[in-house]
Amino acid sequence: MARVLSLFRHQPFLVHVGRRKPALCKMSMDSRARMVFAAAVEAVQPDTVVRQSIERKQDSVIINGHTFTLKHNLHLVGFGKAVLGMAAEAERILGDHLVKGVVSVPHGIQQTLQQNGKDHLLLKENSRIRVMEGAKHNLPDTDAQKAAEVIKQLASELTEEDLLLVLISGGGSALLPAPIPPISLQEKQDVTRKLAGAGATIQELNTVRCALSLLKGGRLAHYAHPAQVVSLILSDVIGDPLDFIASGPTVPSEVWPEEVVSVLERYKLLNSLPASVKEVLERPSPSRSHKTNESSRSVRVLNTVIGSNSVALKSAGRRALELGFRPLVLAPGVCGDVRAVSKLYGLLARFACSREEPPPEIAAELLKLGPEVGVESWDLCRTMQVLSEGRTEGWGSTCLLAGGEPTVKLTGKGRGGRNQELALRVGLELRGMQLPPTGPVFLSGGTDGQDGPTDAAGAITDGGLYEEAQAQALDVNNFLTNNDSYTFFSRLSAGQRLLVPGLTCTNVMDVHMLLIPPIPINIG
């Protein structure tokens, strides 16, 4: 281990947090973990991210360093689960120049916001923005398709003098279905569903979606040409790839029919395609024409990510510092099987809480596991160095933060979600370690406030979980086999370990948190 870390000794990784010992905090680690998670969610509220990204100066607006003139020429469209709150804030700031707008949002969202006291995320009664609800159960439907058609029509009517503000958040793809005629919505859904079931990657699915859509893959921006298009994006995708978020309706791209055919052949679906899909794929590619190439170069688009998992983690780190922890971000893109991810956090906890130099086997195992769970070796080495320095120099408590979206292999029919199952599995990995406040605490929570089909965002765990469950006659392994983590945490100590923030109105994937107490050092 010493050899691994010595490679990085000269790097000043901790300049940003300083070398002072944070003040001791009398609150429990559980309470502080919940407060740090709340800060992460608050930082990516739809109205907050819009307000922080738009600077109004009289009759102009500055977005991401670019200045645009306002002269009653602003139009607005949006699609996604968080878009209603984004639109409400945009209208508050720019409404005096807004001509009209339309947003495609989830079915029932207005009533849900009202019932949860979130009136600030609703449009005013005299709003110029039309709200269209659709995509029940997060699936494209005819209501969402009607909204997509209205959005396309609005974009098509714009002139060179107009400014189109496009608001995009997670769930935007289902809320903007616009299959190329004569393909029906059902036929398009069947093709993508079969692809997903055959094991196609998200890149391959995106390629096919864009090829069969009137609006995805940059085509919404083409309809808006020659207007200036500005997209504000709340990302729910690892790495914030613009062309993947809602399938990139304002991100110019070229999808060749040959690419789509290749994907469909790979998964043996080419021969079973509906006649309408075959007809569209057999048409000459418009991207080959000189006219369309010229149009692609002249399309004026500014795409800006205004909220993401990284933004949430930064805010969580600031709150952790206020609460007496030294913040340390591992990575914003943790992925892979939840069992491997739980092992990662178990190993990091044992590495960080070791009273002596950790066995080199732990570092080797972490570095081997990293690529499997989306964490670069560089990030692991940096993290281990910081944890080692914190232990040897006595810097006090640490808050290790990460984000992402692990996956769960379904083997049962219970109720739960990836965050609750991750917390449960990490609890098993921490078995035998000291209990808080002298042992580590782990939290995993979805920033959308809903982990699977439950009312919980996630759960909090520590090294005492297994014994606590045994004392209450709860068989942890049975619950895991049945993917029944929500039922487990609901029954365990009357649900005290569940994380239930309620409706959060946002989504930037998950937040993982490992709180590490000050570790006494054994000096031999």
Report residue 489 CA to chain centroid gap.
24
Whether 160 shows a pLDDT value over 60: the answer reads yes
**Res 6: pLDDT:** 43
**Which of the four pLDDT bands, split at 50, 70 and 90, describes residue 395?**
confident
**Res 292: pLDDT:** 44
- pLDDT above 90 as % of the chain: 83
**Res 68: pLDDT:** 98
Instruction: Specify the range with the lowest mean pLDDT, choosing from 25-34, 171-180, 285-294, 315-324.
Output: 285-294
**Res 255: pLDDT:** 79
Distance CA 324, CA 313 (A): 16
Average pLDDT (245-249) is: 94
**Res 58: pLDDT:** 95
Average pLDDT (67-82) is: 97
**Which of the four pLDDT bands, split at 50, 70 and 90, describes residue 4?**
very low
Q: Which backbone phi and psi does 514 adopt, to 5 degrees?
A: -120, 110
pTM beyond 0.85: yes
**Res 346: pLDDT:** 98
**Res 253: pLDDT:** 85
**Which of the four pLDDT bands, split at 50, 70 and 90, describes residue 201?**
confident
**Res 16: pLDDT:** 36
Q: Residue 499 carries which DSSP code?
A: E
**Which of the four pLDDT bands, split at 50, 70 and 90, describes residue 19?**
very low
**Which of the four pLDDT bands, split at 50, 70 and 90, describes residue 519?**
confident
Distance CA 449, CA 452 (A): 10
**Which of the four pLDDT bands, split at 50, 70 and 90, describes residue 24?**
very low
Whether 5 shows a pLDDT value over 50: the answer reads no
CA angle in degrees (0–180, nearest 5) for 300-301-305: 165
The 10 Å Cβ neighbour count of residue 358 is 20
Whether 499 shows a pLDDT value over 90: the answer reads yes
Tokens of 241: 């790839």
**Res 297: pLDDT:** 54
Whether 285 shows a pLDDT value over 50: the answer reads yes
**Res 15: pLDDT:** 33
Tokens of 364: 């080797």
Higher pLDDT, 255 or 268: 268
**Which of the four pLDDT bands, split at 50, 70 and 90, describes residue 521?**
low
The 10 Å Cβ neighbour count of residue 382 is 19
**Which of the four pLDDT bands, split at 50, 70 and 90, describes residue 254?**
confident
Sheet with strand 498-499: strands edge to edge: 326-334, 398-404, 510-516, 441-446, 458-462, 498-499
Residue type, 168: I
The per-residue pLDDT of the chain, averaged, comes to: 91
Whether 287 shows a pLDDT value over 90: the answer reads no
Residue type, 270: L
**Which of the four pLDDT bands, split at 50, 70 and 90, describes residue 522?**
low
Peptide bond into 226 cis (omega under 30): yes
